[in-house]
Amino acid sequence: MFSFSAFAQDKADEQPVSLDQLLNEDSQHNLNVAWQYFKLKKAYNAVLVRMEETMAANPTFAKADEVLYLAGMSSFYLANDKGKQKIDLSKISEENKEKYSDENLRESAIAYLGTLVEQHPESKYADKAKKTLKQIKAK
């Protein structure tokens, strides 16, 4: 037979979930989805949006190097008209037209990848970031 007191005891034994834990779980989920978009779908705009949201919500995320890498590479690819998601500047707001201009996307790529190299030099993404930065600056 079911006992309400047994149910209440089970709930009382559970530890409350902290805000940091929820933020980290959400950030990890966003990162996992972003990798899928990046590798499989080449949906760089979707990756960039997710990574910007993750950086804003959880700036101390343990995998910030991956977030910066994905945001930087997605910005770089979008600036070079790569990927399956094309941005039609005639169909977006004036604010986003500026954000998605090739020049601003290149500047964003430099900022994200530069931050990755500077703040996470030991990251496995640092060498690729350095190579991409050299490529951007050579243009």
**Which tens digit of pLDDT belongs to each residue from 78-101?**
999 999 988 888 888 888 888 999
| Alpha-helical regions (H) of the chain | 4-13, 19-36, 44-57, 64-79, 94-99, 102-119, 126-138
**Which tens digit of pLDDT belongs to each residue from 2-50?**
555 555 555 556 778 888 899 999 999 999 999 999 999 999 999 999 9
- What tokens does 2 get? 């079911």
- What tokens does 32 get? 């996992």
* pTM for the predicted model, two decimal places: 0.86
Distance CA 14, CA 83 (A): 45
